[in-house]
Structure 1
Amino acid sequence: MARHGVLLGALAVLASCNKPKAEEPVPVNEPIGLTISGFNYTDLYIDHFSVNGNGGGNVYVSSPTSGGGGFTCCASWFTNMTVPMRVEVVWTRDRNRWCTKVVETTGPTPANPSHLAVHFFPDGRIEAELTEDPPKMKLRLESAGPLQRKTSGNTVTDERTARCQDGRP
C-alpha cells in the first residue's frame, strides 16, 4: 500500500512538470541581452568596434551578399528604456587611431528587441537599430575584397564625422 502512495506521489510530481506555467509579468527594469552585429558600407575594413563598451568584433567591407560582420554578445537593453536610445560607438581601423560617435537608434522599436545592428555608411553616418529578427543590410555594394571597397582610391570620413584620437579612448 505504501508503495502505491509513493508511486502516485511521484506521478503527480511528474504530471505537474508538464503543466504550462502561468505567464509571469516582466519586471519593470529587466535587462535583456541584445546580439550586436556590424555592417560596413565604408571603403575600408574596421578592425574593432564596440557599443557602450560591449565588443562588436571586426567588420569586413560589405559585399552584395554580406554586411561584413558577424554576431557578438551582448549589449544591454532594459525593458523601461525610452527610445530613441543613445549609444556610444567606438571603432578603429588599425588599433592605433580610435574614433567615437554617439548616435541614436533609428526606426521603430520592436516590442521584443533581440538585436542591435550598427551600420557604418560611406558618408560617415552611423545608424544603430533595434530588431527582433537578425538585421538586414541597408546597402548592397561591390567590393574588391574583404579589406577594401576598391583596388585604389579608398577613402573614409571618420575624422570629419566623429571624434578621433591616437590610442584607445
Structure 2
Amino acid sequence: MSGRWIAAVALMVGLMFLGGCAAMAKGGEKGGKLVSEGVSLFAFNYTGRYIGDIRVNGMWLGGAGAHSNSGSAAGLLAPRDRSKRHSVKVTWVVADVYDISTNKYQRRPDEPHEAMVELAFPYPEHPSELILHFFPDGHVEAELIQGMANVWKARRIQPPEGYKR
C-alpha cells in the first residue's frame, strides 16, 4: 500500500512541475503576473577561428566552428518586460584557426572573452530563440527571434568561397 501511495505522490508532483513548465514556456499574463517565455540559444560564427565554451548568463551553449554555427541549447528565459532594453552576459573562448585551403584547424592558444551584449530591440511578441552573432572584428551581437524556422534567415555573413563544412 505504501508503494502505491509514494507512486501517486510522485505522479502528482511531476504533473505539477510539468504544468508550471508549460505556463512558463507559454508566457504572457497569468494571474495578473507577466510570465517569461523560454528560449533556445543558437550562435553564428563569422570568424576564421573556432569559438568554444559559449555561455549566455551562465547557460552553456557549446561551441561553433569557424564560418559555421553552433548547436542549440535550451533553458534561458526571455526578458519579462519587453518594453525596455535588456543585455545578456556572454562568455566565450576563441581558439584554433581554420585553414580553408587544407580544410583543417591549426592549434592556437585559447583566448577567453566576456561582454555584456545588448539584445536587439524591439523584441518579438513571442520569442523562441536567442541568437548570437560572432563577428570577425571581435564584437558580438544578440537578438531574439520568433519561430525556429527563422534561425537560418538570421545569418548575416555567408561562409567564404572555398569553405568546406
With normalisation by structure 1, the TM-score equals 0.62
Is 1:130–2:123 an aligned residue pair? no
Contact 1:83–1:109 (CA<8 Å) still a contact in 2?
Answer: no
Is 1:30–2:35 an aligned residue pair? yes
Consecutive unaligned residues in structure 2, runs of 5 or more = 1-26, 96-108
> d(CA) in 2 for partners of 1:44 and 1:125?
14
Report which structure shows greater RCO (CA 8 Å, sep ≥6): 1
Consecutive unaligned residues in structure 1, runs of 5 or more = 1-23, 147-169
**Residues 82 and 98 of structure 1, relative CA distance in 2, 3 Å threshold:** farther
**Percent of counterpart pairs with the same letter?**
27
Partner secondary structure for residue 78 of structure 2: strand
Greater per-residue helix proportion: 2
Figure out how many residues of one structure are paired with residues of the other and give that number. Answer: 119
Is 1:74–2:88 an aligned residue pair? no
Map 1:66-145 to 2 at 5 A: 67-94=68-95, 96-134=110-148, 135=151, 136-142=154-160, 144=163
Q: Say what the alpha-carbon RMSD is for the aligned residues.
A: 2.3
Contact 1:41–1:141 (CA<8 Å) still a contact in 2?
Answer: yes
Find the structure with the greater CA-based Rg: 1
With normalisation by structure 2, the TM-score equals 0.63
> How far is the alpha carbon of 1:101 from its aligned partner?
0.6
Map 1:138-157 to 2 at 5 A: 138-142=156-160, 144=163
